[in-house]
Structure 1
Amino acid sequence: MRVDGETGIIPLRAMTAGEILDAAVALLRRHAAPLLTLALALSAAEQLLLSQLRTFAELSPPLYYWRITSEDIDWVPVVATGLATEAFIIALLGAVAGAAAGPALLGRRIRDRDVLRRSRPLTALLVAAILAVITFGAAVAGFIGVIFVYGLAGLAAAVLTVDRTANPFTAIGRAVGRCTRNGMRGVFLRLLGYLVWLAIRIALGSGWIVAADMVTSVAGWSWWLDWAVPIAWALANAVAYAALGCLDAVLLLEIRIRTEGLDIAVNRARSLGKDPATALAVRR
């Protein structure tokens, strides 16, 4: 780890929604290699799983992956699985981003392999699995609960690696507490970020599918569309998931600055000649 200075790519102050989104993209750009590699691997596995489920349920192949028709009667488990895998992947990427966000806030550069080592992979997997199970249950129960699960508890993996919490349940509880402060500002910002990146990935995924459909229709390779759909969405989702993981990490730090005085604690540690990284860990 190397100190670049006291100004990091994540501002040490309260931010607007636009600044939070910008800082998340800056964090993704700095650590693109581990985040995008992991995101692409997980997105590809997700699309492989969903493709098999769609085939088993005999769902029609759509232009947009979640379009359903009146003849599709077994779509609920497939869509619920898709939402659960999204929650799982974003949580894992949030843990990795959280490991990088603290040094980024302090103006330090950390090597990519050190980011992965600091991400607490085993505990992060447990947090991600818990969130996936809860999300699947909420989806099967009527889908509206998914919004609350995502908005309230989704920061748990980032809490795990930024706060260095003792266990997954403490991380989930603390995530809910942080997101409900200031009139549930954290919930609304997390949902806003999701909607922004949903629009982007729909544009990317649909665009690639339309292009593939045009090419394969001209060449007479209509069978290729069955491969183009999951490939297009895997690529689009990989970027979006990585960005959303970074958004979680940045949003967590911003909430702590706004409501807990994290910026004051960091500056106090610097003035006393102490390592400001000690201000990031929450020992309660």
Structure 2
Amino acid sequence: MPDVGPTTVLPRRPLTVGELLDSAVLLLRAQGRLLLPPAVLLATGEQLLLLPLRRLADAVPPIWWDDNGSVPAWWLLLAVGAATEAVIVLLLGNPAARAAGTALLGRRAGVRELLRPAGARWGATLLLAPVVGLLMLLAALLGPVWLVGYGLLGSVAAALVLDRVSGPAAVGRAARLALRGRAGAVRVLGYLGWWVLRVGLALGVFFGVESLGLVDLADPTVRVGAAMLVWGAVNSVAYPALACLDAVIHLDTRMRTEGLDIRLARTPAGLAAHALSVAGR
């Protein structure tokens, strides 16, 4: 059994909400070399995807809001942004969940191991990405329903790669786990916490640079580019952090509701990885 202590990425016991947040950060620190590069690419792609919608809505950087803009176009911008965030977190959740699984078994997975395609189930993950994106888009168009959808779909990637359920069944299993106790609420809480942090960092950096005169942001093109750069950089850290949080919440929920920690404690070390997946089906 791995040691339980402040430096343990994922202790083999149910965790408090604060410990879940700490474990997610520790997991990101341990796997930053793996998770941050794709997060940068995905966050950059998101900024480019949203640019035409921002122009359509007359959204002004860095807040991307304009009182004189079109409300329906701005609402669509918000909905598409929410859907792309969910898809990115799902994609990053694949390696994050596998890293969390090995951490629960008492070892740290190397980058080479996590990049190995065997058993990674990337095909199923990529097929589910547009499904999750569409569900989140529809939920976001309904306003507060987005919070419910986000809370329900946090375990999709972990259900695929750790529980080894089929692609369609992963959505249902994620929803069932989210409804058990606090899992969905903790996921929403984590998202809101990171949202506040993202907004504060992005606006602080942008307006700080502007006030110091380090970059001439009077030109609209430069201003848009600078805002996209700042938001992309902040999201490049926030998205993998949210993916790590999803992974630890998933395993914590299984320990709380399925006795995963007890099952692993009774399983020989050589069969622990197999028990981790079998217990979830």
Instruction: Report the TM-score when normalising by structure 2.
Output: 0.91
- Is 1:281 aligned to 2:277, yes or no? yes
Indicate the residue corresponding to 1:129 in structure 2. 130
Q: Distance in 2 between matches of 1:233 and 1:200?
A: 12
Indicate the residue corresponding to 1:213 in structure 2. 210
Cα deviation 1:209-252 (Å, max 9, x = unaligned): 11232245875753421111111000111111100000000000
Tell me which amino acid in the other structure corresponds to 2:162: V
Indicate the residue corresponding to 2:139 in structure 1. 138
Deviation for aligned residue 1:151:
0.5
User: What are structure 2's unaligned runs of at least 5 residues?
Assistant: none
Q: Distance in 1 between matches of 2:120 and 2:233?
A: 24
Q: Distance in 1 between matches of 2:59 and 2:147?
A: 26
Contact 1:9 1:107 in 2 (8 A): no
Q: Distance in 2 between matches of 1:231 and 1:217?
A: 15
Contact 1:39 1:239 in 2 (8 A): yes
Indicate the residue corresponding to 1:27 in structure 2. 27
Tell me which amino acid in the other structure corresponds to 2:84: T
Contact 1:151 1:187 in 2 (8 A): yes
- Is 1:234 aligned to 2:232, yes or no? yes
Residues 42-191 of structure 1 aligned to structure 2 (within 5 Å): 42-55=42-55, 57-65=56-64, 67-73=65-71, 74-117=73-116, 118-140=119-141, 142-165=142-165, 167-182=166-181, 185-191=182-188
Tell me which amino acid in the other structure corresponds to 2:104: L
Q: Distance in 1 between matches of 2:216 and 2:244?
A: 40
SS of match in other structure, 1:109: coil
Indicate the residue corresponding to 1:264 in structure 2. 262
Cα deviation 1:9-44 (Å, max 9, x = unaligned): 201001000000000111101110111111111000
Contact 1:91 1:158 in 2 (8 A): no
Q: Distance in 2 between matches of 1:36 and 1:245?
A: 11
SS of match in other structure, 1:181: coil
Runs of 4+ in 1 over 6 A off after TM superposition: none
User: What are structure 1's unaligned runs of at least 5 residues?
Assistant: none
Tell me which amino acid in the other structure corresponds to 1:96: P
Contact 1:155 1:252 in 2 (8 A): yes
Tell me which amino acid in the other structure corresponds to 2:49: L
Q: Distance in 1 between matches of 2:98 and 2:274?
A: 14
Indicate the residue corresponding to 2:39 in structure 1. 39
Contact 1:62 1:68 in 2 (8 A): no
SS of match in other structure, 1:119: coil
Could you say what the CA RMSD is over the residues aligned between the two structures, in angstroms? Answer: 1.9
For structure 1, which segment, 123-132 or 190-199, has the greater mean C-alpha deviation from structure 2 after superposition?
Answer: 123-132
Contact 2:198 2:238 in 1 (8 A): yes
Instruction: Report the TM-score when normalising by structure 1.
Output: 0.90
How many residues were matched structurally? 272
Query: CA separation of 1:109/1:187 partners in 2, compared to 1, >3 Å: closer, same or farther?
Result: same
SS of match in other structure, 2:263: helix
SS of match in other structure, 2:266: helix
Indicate the residue corresponding to 1:6 in structure 2. 2
Cα deviation 1:34-64 (Å, max 9, x = unaligned): 1111111100000011112212x05131332
Deviation for aligned residue 1:70:
4.1
Query: CA separation of 1:90/1:214 partners in 2, compared to 1, >3 Å: closer, same or farther?
Result: same
Q: Distance in 1 between matches of 2:214 and 2:63?
A: 17
Query: CA separation of 1:211/1:11 partners in 2, compared to 1, >3 Å: closer, same or farther?
Result: same
